[in-house]
Amino acid sequence: MKIDSIKNGIVLDHIKAGKSMEIYRYLGLDKLDCSVAIIKNAVSNKMGKKDIIKIADTLDINLDVLGYVDPDITVCYIKDGKIAMKKHVELPERITNIIRCKNPRCITSVEREVDHVFKLADREKRVYRCIYCEAKKSEY
């Protein structure tokens, strides 16, 4: 399979195999008017298998989303066919409006305009807690 390189844009690399569609939805890449390539289960010496997303346009990427879904992702900004900048994401300390609190008694369930804010409670287990009711979110 041949996937062309991009001249200007962003490459999300080292995505855990199978997580690319989740990232695609979280970032709203379906709403873009540019080419987006998703490579699933690419062979990787380091990871065995990995996913890659190539976006043929420059845009603001929410690094907190990437860090929440997969903190091992590498974000490469491409300019004139070369890597202009490379960033490594990590688990964010706080995430806002990325996930929703499921506690029916939480203020976010009653007051619709209140932001859903979670703080990192346990980095090792990747546990987040709602700042309002302390409900736990640890699906990843």
Q: pLDDT tens-digit profile of 67-106?
A: 999 999 999 999 999 999 999 999 999 999 999 999 999 9
What CATH number is associated with residue 106?
Answer: 2.30.30.20
The C-alpha angle 61, 62, 66, rounded to 5 degrees, equals 100
* Residues in Cβ contact with 86 at an 8 Å cutoff, skipping those fewer than 6 apart: 74, 75, 76, 77
Q: State how far the Cα of 108 lies from the Cα of 116, in Å rounded to an integer.
A: 6
52 in the same domain as 76 = yes
Residue 115: domain span: 94-137
Specify the number of domains making up the chain. Answer: 2
Residue 71 lies in a domain: yes
Please, what's the b/e burial string for 57-69 (b: 16 or more CB within 10 A of its CB; e: otherwise)? Answer: eeeebbebbbbbb
Residue 1 lies in a domain: no
Confidence (pTM):
0.84
pLDDT digits (tens, 9 = 90+) for 4-26: 688 999 999 999 999 999 999 99
